[in-house]
């Protein structure tokens, strides 16, 4: 008689520095490409004779694709593993960048951004990989390290994009950074194939698959996840509104171009890297994830208010002399400093949001819940730029920033409520364990 043997259960790889370093490098390379393109998108669109509302529509189209893709990729990574999903999304990014470089008009550019958004589903998968190999009490710190890779990507990417952009050449002057972004996405895909180990076993094909909306039902039933999803929705609506019109706003107020915008985002990357790499985990362990998240929301809102209330004549173009060295400083030089305050707040948000969701979710649903979180972010990124374009054109250039600042207040309140839900759950679990002992 033949006895069927059940294969041994899959054991996720242990937390080793080389494995995390490989994942860190893959995220970094991918985000360099992303950072190369985003700051110059408004000016690239202007080279296609785009209006302000069409420029913000490019941002919304990307997020529309991401909205449908993120839950799908998150669920798929729970079922077939993280590695193949990472590979597929990186290849899609490389193809999307190549197509964007050759679009002849703004409408095709919007369509290409929609396609690229459909392939941009690797954020929740990366977070799921980290959650697979990290104990719950260390997840905020590990998520912070991955966030630091994002920050480093935004240091190198926007600065490099600004240096490579040649606006005097017209439309072709924006293609070189886009080509480089495509090459870096392809390089990241090679890194996944060669270096990254799978962190999850493939699910049984015969096993029942949850319906698409089952993840949403589970999230609504979870008092922590449901509140954190609302935080993401509110906060990202304000952030995406600011992001989509920042290039247009700085151009109209300070006569900035792609280079100045890129360097400003580079400063944001520096601050985000330092905070997420060295402070996010420590602050979360000392003060609690929810309190740190709420503080981050309010810091970001404060920076938006300071940004639009800074009087332009107070910060003219000047030169700093350091002995034989003279450094020219552009008009509006206070803006990168104010953005650094906002970067402090933003850098506290992502790792604590991800850590709170993963802590409140069972292991086989973490990818799904994190994917829903990214979908919530995508909903905000769909409508945030659309409203920003309408506010920018119809009411004034400062209104997208002011509305974004206002939205951070309810986001902070919801973060505190999520923390209270976590503490109530811990007390209930302790009482249940005590009654059974």
For 181-239, write each residue's pLDDT tens digit.
Answer: 888 888 888 888 887 777 765 555 555 555 555 577 777 778 888 888 988 888 888 88
pLDDT at residue 408 tops 70: yes
What is the model's pLDDT at position 327? 64
The sign of the torsion formed by the CA atoms of 342, 50, 376, 350 equals negative
What is the model's pLDDT at position 418? 84
What is the model's pLDDT at position 40? 84
Q: What is the pTM of this model?
A: 0.76
CB 83 within 8 A of CB 128: no
What is the model's pLDDT at position 269? 78
Cβ atoms within 10 Å of 48's Cβ, excluding its own: 19
Residue 291 in tokens? 């309190």
Cα-to-chain-centroid distance, residue 330: 28
CA distance 168 to 9: 60
pLDDT at residue 409 tops 80: yes
Give the DSSP letter of residue 361: S
Residue 154 in tokens? 């935004």
**Higher model confidence: residue 172 or residue 251?**
251
pLDDT at residue 9 tops 50: no
pLDDT at residue 283 tops 90: no
Question: Which of 49-58, 68-77, 395-404 is predicted least confidently?
Answer: 68-77
Tell me the three state secondary structure of residue 33.
helix
- 113, 283, 320, 332, 357 from 160: Cα distances, Å: 21, 32, 23, 21, 34
Dihedral of the alpha carbons of 396, 268, 148, 423, in degrees to the nearest 10: -50
What is the model's pLDDT at position 167? 78
């Amino acid at each position: 008689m033949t006895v069927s043997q059940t294969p041994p259960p899959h054991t996720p790889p242990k937390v080793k520095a080389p494995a995390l370093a490989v994942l860190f490098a893959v995220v970094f390379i991918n985000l360099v490409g992303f950072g190369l393109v985003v700051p110059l998108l408004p000016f690239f669109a202007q080279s296609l004779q785009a209006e302000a509302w069409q420029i913000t529509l490019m941002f919304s189209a990307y997020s529309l694709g991401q909205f449908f893709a993120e839950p799908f990729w998150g669920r798929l990574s729970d079922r077939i593993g993280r590695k193949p999903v990472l590979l597929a999304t990186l290849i899609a990014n490389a193809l999307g960048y190549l197509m964007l470089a050759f679009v002849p008009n703004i409408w095709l550019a919007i369509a290409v951004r929609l396609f690229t958004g459909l392939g941009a589903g690797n954020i929740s998968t990366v977070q799921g990989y980290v959650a697979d190999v990290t104990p719950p009490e260390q997840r905020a710190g590990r998520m912070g390290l991955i966030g630091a890779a994002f920050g480093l990507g935004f240091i190198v990417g926007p600065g490099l994009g600004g240096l490579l952009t040649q606006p005097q050449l017209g439309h072709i002057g924006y293609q070189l950074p886009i080509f480089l972004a495509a090459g870096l996405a392809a390089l990241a895909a090679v890194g996944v194939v060669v270096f990254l180990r799978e962190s999850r076993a493939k699910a049984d094909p015969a096993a029942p698959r949850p319906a698409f909306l089952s993840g949403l039902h589970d999230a609504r039933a979870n008092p922590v996840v449901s509140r954190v999803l609302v935080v993401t929705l509110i906060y990202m609506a304000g952030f995406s509104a600011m992001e989509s019109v920042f290039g247009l706003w700085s151009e109209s107020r300070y006569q900035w171009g792609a280079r100045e915008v890129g360097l400003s985002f580079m400063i944001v990357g520096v601050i985000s890297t330092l905070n997420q790499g060295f402070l996010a985990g420590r602050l979360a362990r000392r003060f609690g994830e929810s309190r740190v998240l709420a503080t981050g929301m309010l810091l970001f809102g404060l920076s938006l208010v300071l940004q639009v209330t800074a009087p332009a004549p107070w910060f003219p173009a000047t030169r700093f002399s350091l002995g034989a060295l003279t450094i020219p400083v552009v008009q509006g030089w206070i803006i990168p400093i104010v953005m650094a305050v906002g970067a402090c707040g933003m850098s506290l948000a992502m790792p604590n949001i991800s850590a709170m969701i993963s802590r409140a979710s069972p292991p086989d649903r973490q990818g799904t819940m994190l994917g829903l979180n990214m979908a919530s972010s995508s909903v905000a990124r769909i409508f945030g730029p659309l409203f920003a374009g309408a506010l920018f054109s119809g009411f004034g250039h400062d209104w997208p920033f002011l509305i974004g600042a206002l939205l951070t207040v309810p986001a902070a309140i919801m973060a505190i409520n999520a923390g209270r839900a976590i503490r109530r759950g811990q007390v209930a679990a302790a009482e249940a364990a005590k009654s059974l002992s």
